[in-house]
């Protein structure tokens, strides 16, 4: 499947003066499409609009975005859809223009092929050396400044690991290199609060809501590496792959536990879903 790219609804290029290119001044959403329908589309729009509010970017209208996605998304099978919204073009310098017109960039591409073993047996994770900088002003948003995650992924080259585990400079766990992390301890579901660094993923929100529906106790708070290492169960989430149980974290091993399985079953998560 050839990737489709649209800029403001047209098959054209991005203005070299766009602030997303120059400064990472914008946000993005990566979404899973099944037979032309985006999973949890409203949750993606919620996060995008909240990020735009915090960055003082005028967000595109939901109906415009939804119509554009519907027109260009494949009607059969799965696809990975990415939406980028930048502040738009500007002149030289960090200061945004007084009047800015946001740029929207949409791509529709092939679905990544995830091995079924990642769901059945779990993935391998290693702790990254890189530490995420603390910045509460940007924490939670899926902004375009992702160089920390790029460097973390470079650490995984040849590392026999599918995800890296990221800590911040205070040595608290934040999440995976492209995921959020959940730990199960004595029947309770724990996940980092994402108040100083990291992204509040859409799948993270879905899992927390599903846990509430299943009557599971959940807590969002600072977590240490020791708490993660000593968890009864461990799994990672994102909007494309859903839920991956963790089979190993560095030298420690984990089984796909009962709570992880309940959540995967409840949400219909598998290699084919």
- At 13-49, the pLDDT tens digits run 999 999 999 999 999 999 999 999 999 999 999 999 9
Mean pLDDT of the 84-89 span? 97
Mean pLDDT of the 57-85 span? 94
Mean pLDDT of the 79-107 span? 94
- pLDDT at 178 > cutoff 80: yes
- pLDDT at 273 > cutoff 70: no
Please state, in angstroms and as integers, the Cα–Cα distance from residue 53 to each residue in 58, 139, 141, 203, 236, following that order.
7, 14, 11, 21, 28
pLDDT for res 55: 97
Mean pLDDT of the 195-208 span? 97
Helix (H, G, I), strand (E, B) or coil at 74: coil
Token duo for residue 225:
């590496």
Are the C-beta atoms of residues 83 and 31 closer than 8 Å to each other?
A: yes
d(CA 35, CA 231) in angstroms, rounded, equals 37
Mean pLDDT of the 210-229 span? 97
Q: What digits encode the pLDDT tens for the residues 50-63?
A: 999 999 999 999 99
Domains of the chain, CATH where assigned: 4-110 (3.30.470.10), 117-267 (3.20.10.10)
Alpha helices, H only, the chain? 19-23, 41-55, 62-72, 117-120, 147-155, 202-213, 225-229, 258-267
Are the C-beta atoms of residues 115 and 245 closer than 8 Å to each other?
A: no
- Assign 96 a pLDDT band (cuts: 50, 70, 90): very high
> Average pLDDT, whole number, for the chain?
95
pTM for the full model?
0.94
């Amino acid at each position: 499947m050839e990737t489709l790219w649209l800029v403001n609804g047209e098959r054209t290029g991005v203005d070299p003066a766009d602030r997303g290119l120059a400064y990472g001044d914008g946000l993005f959403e990566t979404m899973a499409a099944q037979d032309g329908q985006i999973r949890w589309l409203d949750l993606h729009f919620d996060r995008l609009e909240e990020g735009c509010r915090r960055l003082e970017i005028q967000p595109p209208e939901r109906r415009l975005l939804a119509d554009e996605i519907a027109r260009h998304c494949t009607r059969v099978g799965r696809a990975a859809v990415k939406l980028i919204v930048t502040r738009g073009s500007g002149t030289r310098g960090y200061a945004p223009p007084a009047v800015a017109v946001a740029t929207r960039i949409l791509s529709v591409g092939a679905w990544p092929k995830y091995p079924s073993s990642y769901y059945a047996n779990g993935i391998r994770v290693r702790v990254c050396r890189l530490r995420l900088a603390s910045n509460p002003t940007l924490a939670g948003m899926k902004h375009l400044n992702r160089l920390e995650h790029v460097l973390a992924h470079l650490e995984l080259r040849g590392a026999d690991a599918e995800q890296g585990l990221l800590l911040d400079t205070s040595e608290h766990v934040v999440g995976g290199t492209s995921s959020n992390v959940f730990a199960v301890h004595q029947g309770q579901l724990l996940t980092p609060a994402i108040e100083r660094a990291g992204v509040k993923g859409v799948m993270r929100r879905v899992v927390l809501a599903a846990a509430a529906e299943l009557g599971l106790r959940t807590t969002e708070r600072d977590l240490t590496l020791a708490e993660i290492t000593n968890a009864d169960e461990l799994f990672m989430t994102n909007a494309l792959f859903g839920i991956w149980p963790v089979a190993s974290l560095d030298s420690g091993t984990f089984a796909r536990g009962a709570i992880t399985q309940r959540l995967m079953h409840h949400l219909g998560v598998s290699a084919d879903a």
